[in-house]
Amino acid sequence: MEHHHLRLILLLLFLFLPNTCFSFSFQTPSSNEFSNQSSSSLKQQILELANSPSTVKWMKRIRREIHEHPELAYEEFRTSAVIRRELDLLGVEYKWPVAGTGVVAKIGYGSPPFVALRADMDALPIQEMVDWDHKSKVDGKMHACAHDAHVAMLLGAAKILQEMKDMLQTTVVLIFQPAEERGTGAKDMIQEQVLEDVGAILGLHLGAEYPTGVVASRPGEFLAGCGSFEAKIKGKGGLAGVPQHCFDPVLAASTSVISLQNIVSREADPLDSQVESNSQIQ
């Protein structure tokens, strides 16, 4: 997790490279397109900024600070304060609060459409059992889903973009989103129009299953979404020894959960990976 700055490098290379699905242009002496020489020079500049010992040390410090003080959905006041502190030091303007605790910043010049970079902020109600120097200091809460690293990565992107903003002829929107784990933070931010004038949005998630420095993607949908539904199952209680005299709601609920798995196994292409999980029954 300490090497998440490598993923930051690849993300920024995408932002500054031409011929992507989203159009970017930069100031050059003779043409609106990059020459091979200028493209190579730009990539080298990004790599040097991202790999500089001071940047790496700075990002590690931020990630560890956030990890030590995890906050659940809509409670990310300390986390957003860290973000605003660092943006102030970088000289990046921002809007706060958005959707309660969120922060939205902008870097660059130019008219819409803009590109947005997004990171989630909230932690999970999980007790951290591993002892290390930067273990969670909040009982029953921890960053078990890498949102601490995501925030550090986006701040790292902000640092590099701010240093190179004079080369941009577009605007990059930086979105620090609350309440991802609850499944409502993105909706709240959209309702506050943070995606207005945004033509493309990019987000990364750390994956422990891949080697350090590897970025994985594919066309189409990549990650699972979060949703909810409510179904009331009514039955008639009775003695367990004479089940024929009752209408067992426990069995009905269990059968419903099992039957929902058929959505994937019988409705989706078996060569197309999909998932349907029921995470809670009350």
What is the rounded CA–CA span in Å between residue 45 and residue 38? 10
Residue 203 CA to residue 222 CA, distance in Å, equals 12
Q: What three-state secondary structure class fits 189?
A: helix
Q: Of 59, 32, 80, 111, nearest to 185 (Cα)?
A: 80
Non-local CB neighbours of 198 within 8 Å, separated by 6+ positions = 112, 113, 114, 115, 116, 173
pLDDT at 180: 95
Q: What is the pLDDT of residue 26?
A: 38
Tens place of pLDDT per residue across the chain (282 aa)? 445 555 665 556 555 544 333 333 334 444 444 456 667 788 889 889 999 999 999 999 999 999 999 999 999 999 999 999 999 999 999 999 999 999 999 999 888 999 999 999 999 999 999 999 999 999 999 999 999 999 999 999 999 999 999 888 789 999 999 999 998 999 999 999 999 999 999 988 998 889 887 888 888 777 777 777 788 899 998 888 999 999 999 999 999 999 998 888 888 888 887 888 888 788
Q: Is the peptide bond before 113 cis (omega within 30 degrees of 0)?
A: yes
Q: Which residue from 87, 61, 78, 280 is spatially nearest to 178, judged by alpha carbons?
A: 78
- 245 phi, psi to nearest 5 deg: -100, 5
Distance CA 195, CA 189 (A): 8
DSSP one-letter code for 111:
P
Q: What domains are defined for the chain?
A: 48-203 (3.40.630.10), 229-281 (no CATH)
Q: Is 107 helix (H, G, I), strand (E, B) or coil?
A: strand
Local structure of residue 98 (DSSP, 8 states)? E
- C-alpha–C-alpha distance, residues 103 and 95, integer Å: 6
Given this model, what pLDDT does residue 31 score?
Answer: 47
What pLDDT is attached to residue 28? 42
CA separation for the pair 124, 11 (Å, rounded): 26
